[in-house]
């Protein structure tokens, strides 16, 4: 399984920021992680990673204070 560190290291090598025999420093890796998270946030806002949006309607019974969603939810 690919990790964020592996993705960052590969991207830095492709940009020729790192040599083949070098790993990013802790500061470089942190900067790369910040950039990766920013990119994923942008994709999320633009819905580029959303496979399907499904809208459903649920009734909320009287006297019920909370509901749970997801697998096993009520």
> How far is 65 from 30, CA to CA, in rounded Å?
42
pLDDT digits (tens, 9 = 90+) for 20-42: 888 899 999 999 999 988 988 88
Contacts of 74 (CB under 8 A, 6+ apart): 67, 68
Q: What do you get for the CA distance between the two ends of the chain, in Å? A: 34
**Whole-prediction pTM value?**
0.57
pLDDT at 10 over 80: yes
pLDDT score at 50: 59
- Tokens at 42, concatenated: 């942008």
């Amino acid at each position: 399984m690919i990790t964020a560190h592996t993705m960052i290291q590969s991207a830095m090598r492709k940009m020729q920021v790192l040599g083949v025999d070098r790993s990013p420093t802790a500061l470089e890796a942190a900067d790369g992680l910040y950039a990766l998270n920013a990119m994923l946030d942008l994709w999320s806002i633009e819905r580029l990673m959303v496979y399907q949006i499904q809208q459903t309607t649920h009734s909320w019974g009287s006297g019920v204070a909370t509901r749970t969603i997801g697998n096993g939810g009520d």
